[in-house]
Amino acid sequence: MTTPHPNPSPTLLKPIKPVGIIGYGAYVPRYRLPAKEVARVWTGKTSGMPIKEKAVPGLDEDVITMSIEAARNAMARAQIDPTELRAVWVGSESHPYAVKPTSTLVAEAIGAVPNTQGADFEFACKAGTEALVAAMGLVGSGMGHYAMAIGMDTAQGKPGDALEYTAGAGGGAYIIGPAEESLAVINSSYSYVTDTPDFWRREYQKYPEHGMRFTGEPAYFKHITEAATHLMEASGTTAKDYKWAIFHQPNTKFPQRVAGQLGFSMEQIEPGLLVPIIGNTYAGAAMIGLTATLDIAQPGDRILVVSFGSGAGSDAFDITVTDKVTAKQNLATTTREYIARRSEIDYATYVRFRGKLAMK
């Protein structure tokens, strides 16, 4: 006789042992490239921009250095010994090395080595939440007490392409642990994936390509609405049950539109809607949107988070904030403080920082 699976709902990803977020942290590079500056170079127009500006990494910044900064902020809020981390996982679509993990450098920098598990995750813009689901599984199974999941990316985009206006940099790091220690309990998650070719980059290609007609309806909107709807139906919730909602933000219009489709107000998504000022942070988009929301969340707040990754898929999370959040919020630099710390650059400086001119 087959033993029934302990998960009461076959549609939800819900660990046997309740888990939650015990620490979180963000990082956003200082430099900002105004969208009007990109338009000035390529079209001569300076109005009707999709965003105000985007964050750009400096010459000495990449996914590794930015992940380390976010990880240190998460550790500061978690207040645990780094050697207690049983996993350090980094999700990104701009890992610095083709063959060499990002995760081991991050683990080394924060003092988590050598008795830990390291891995790099890839799933376009949902690589970060993919790592988050894996961390839930590791802690929820009892294999480890704590695990770290990071979503981080650098600015990408072919010169003159539409992506160049919105492709920003930044991300977030989360430490998952037992629910009783958490500042926010992850009640459950749900993942929805299909083979939808809306965005890709083949090996040895420097810049990604996007299938224009697939980007909206069959990719972004279908996957986010399906993931969110299935999660809420299985959880017995509707939009009004959530104080806040965070949706993947490739631009300003998409998350606003999908929020309306799912019954959420603009007030519910406002704290996590960062794309107008830092751009699309790819694997870090949903992750950093959640950090900004946790910075201002209060005990009892319920949060819906839905990521999206091209190719394509979405991870949805139902989260409840606990009374431990208020003591943790000011233990590290907040997301809005990183955003406020800015230095404007011109297009020529951006080209130099991002290595867009091949010298050999």
Give pLDDT tens digits along the chain (360 positions).
455 555 555 578 889 999 999 999 999 999 999 999 999 999 887 777 778 999 999 999 999 999 999 999 999 999 999 999 999 999 999 999 989 999 999 999 999 999 999 999 999 899 999 999 999 999 999 999 999 999 999 988 888 888 888 899 999 999 999 999 999 999 999 999 999 887 667 777 777 766 655 566 789 999 999 999 999 999 999 999 999 999 999 889 999 999 999 999 999 999 999 999 999 999 999 999 999 999 999 999 999 999 999 889 999 999 999 999 999 999 999 999 999 999 999 999 999 999 888 666
Name the fold adopted by 19-353: Peroxisomal Thiolase; Chain A, domain 1 (3.40.47)
pLDDT at res. 215? 67
And the tokens for 35? 């969208």
Strand 31-34: give its sheet, edge to edge. Answer: 53-56, 31-34, 343-344
Strand 313-321: give its sheet, edge to edge. Answer: 117-121, 85-91, 146-153, 170-178, 19-27, 184-193, 313-321, 302-306, 244-247
The residue among 57, 35, 41, 28 whose CA lies nearest residue 354 is: 57
Residue 311 · residue 93 · CB < 8 Å: no
Is 223 marked active-site? Answer: no
Residue with tokens 């959530």: 242
Q: How many CB atoms lie within 10 A of CB 264?
A: 22
Q: Which residues of 311-337 are buried (b: 16+ CB within 10 A; e: fewer)?
A: bbbbbbbbbbbbebbeebbeebbbbbe
Is 125 marked active-site? Answer: yes
pLDDT at res. 357? 80
pLDDT at res. 9? 53
Q: Is the dihedral of CA 339, 283, 200, 198 positive or negative?
A: negative
Rounded CA separation 156/112 (Å): 30
User: What is the 3-state composition of the chain as percent helix, strand, coil, each rounded to the nearest 5?
Assistant: 40, 25, 40
> What does DSSP say about strands 184-193 and 313-321: parallel, antiparallel, or unpaired?
antiparallel
pLDDT at res. 141? 96
Is 122 marked active-site? Answer: no
Rounded CA separation 66/72 (Å): 10
**What residue segments make up the domains of the chain, in order of their start?**
19-353
For residue 65, the one-letter residue type is T
Residue 135 · residue 176 · CB < 8 Å: yes
Catalytic pick among 53, 69, 93, 130:
93
> What 3-state DSSP class applies to 326?
helix
Q: Phi/psi zone of residue 311: left (φ > 0), alpha (ψ -120 to 50 degrees), beta?
A: left
Catalytic pick among 61, 125, 130, 223:
125
Residue 314 · residue 191 · CB < 8 Å: yes
List of residues 6+ apart from 19 with CB closer than 8 A: 136, 139, 140, 176, 177, 178, 179, 182, 185, 186
Rounded CA separation 254/51 (Å): 12
Q: Report CA-CA distances (Å) from 357 to 61, 284, 360.
A: 18, 26, 9
Examine residue 312 and say whether the peptide bond preceding it is cis (omega within 30 degrees of 0): yes
Q: Is the dihedral of CA 347, 350, 355, 360 positive or negative?
A: positive
Residue with tokens 């010169």: 159
The DSSP code for 115 is S
And the tokens for 104? 């081991």
Residue with tokens 């079209």: 43
And the tokens for 297? 């969340």
